[in-house]
Amino acid sequence: MFTLICICAIVIGKIKFSGTEKQQPSSLVSETDNLKDSESNFVEEETERSTQKTAEEQEIILEKETTSESPQTETAESQQTDLVNQIDYALEKMTVEQKVAQLFIITPDALTGITGVSAAGDATYAALQQYPVGGLVYFENNLQSYEQISEMLHNVQQYSMEISGLPLFLAVDEEGGTVARISGQGYGIEPIEDMAAVGASGDYERAQEIGTYIGSYLSDLGFNVDFAPCADVLTNPANTVVARRSFGSDAALVAEMTDLQRKAMEQEGIIGALKHFPGHGATSEDSHQGFAYIQKTEEELVNNEWIPFKKGIEEGAKMIMVGHIVCSEITGTEDPSSLSYYMVTEILRQKMGFQGLVVTDALNMGAIANYYTSAQAAVKAVQAGVDLLLMPSDFSGAYQGVLNAVYNGEISEERLNESLYRILQVKNEMRVHGKY
């Protein structure tokens, strides 16, 4: 028996707010007291612009099960054709606004306009109706307890499925060691050592165990994306950004441990994002503050820093994060790799063969925010070949900038659809494997 899974419930035309009262899921808790007034004001303001949605405004692509009397005749080719047809059909039904929104992974604070969102309620629901974004990423100010995190994530995921039929990428930075939002933070999850200690031990089994451990509790909470592991090879002793976060300076060891950890997380239902291509371990600057530079040739990077990324690509990695790292020896420009067509499309995709999702490092970091507007950075990233735009300083400005670029032809709808195809493909896989 072969199960065909639908891509989404697509809203025809521009997404509008519902003026009717929404039935809350039974598990929904009230918004935290300090958010009630802000959320109420937000909903009242947005509801004034809302119109009643009707069943006619939506065309639901229902999940259906097709049973073949001769399953052995079904081939991988026919299954792939079915998937392509489903995604193509979904893309035809999506508006440009919906497509552009799917490119963004932002904080719940940026989505709602409320600082320190720690529950998913009416303001979150209304904001998702206006901006059905591709995903949300959570930080310490959003996290209070294991139960609170779980309820918040499960509710917001339910909202997304109700509104667009598409699951959200629910992401977190959970590397272990010095970068951990959950482990060792008082939520009943034991702390994890730095990856540098794991690399120094040479214990490959431990690297895999950590991936399983992280994947299990993140999945249980409701996350599905971890911006980890670090695939950076620590080749610059002056580096302060990666430091203890890297498995070490041996490219082969880093490649193997990174791959074992990523695969272990994926076995638990968590997509691991290899980071930070083209390799933050070779830099001395901090891209949180400004540009970071790699003063190496392409050949040098191929033979060292890119080995872990190449292995991940060959082993089926679904997501790679591109850093704001300038490789002027290769590109001849001062453009950071995250905004560089040569680095993203010609190197990562064409030369290295990566066909998965490319996500930027956070676009609110100094390397971007100090030199570009949010709209400029978002447009350049999409033009470079990036699929997912992480945390622009000004989400609405970035969203409108990409939308305007599509309207005026700076970004073709064909280019937009390339990213949407990859996004929908991964989200479909999440549903096929019973995640949603």
Q: What CATH number should be reported for the domain holding residue 111? A: 3.20.20.300
What pLDDT is recorded for position 435? Answer: 67
Contact call for residues 394 and 358 (beta carbons, < 8 A): no
**Cβ-proximal residues to 392 (8 Å cutoff; 6+ apart), any chain:** 104, 106, 363, 364, 374, 377, 378, 398
pTM of the model: 0.84
Is 411 within the bounds of a domain?
yes
Q: What is the pLDDT of residue 74?
A: 59
Does any domain span residue 4? no
Three-state secondary-structure class, residue 169 = strand
Instruction: Give the domain extent around 132.
Output: 97-432
Query: What's the confidence (pLDDT) of residue 266?
Result: 97
Domain membership of residue 352 (yes or no) is yes
Percent of the chain with pLDDT over 90: 73
Residue 397 inside a domain? The answer is yes
- Residue 13 located in a structural domain: no
Q: Is residue 19 included in any domain, yes or no?
A: no
Residues 434, 213, 224, CA angle at the centre, nearest 5°? 35
In a domain, 310, yes or no: yes
The number of domains in the chain is 1
pLDDT tens digits, residue range 58-108? Answer: 333 324 333 344 455 457 677 677 778 889 888 999 999 999 999 999 999
18 in any annotated domain: no
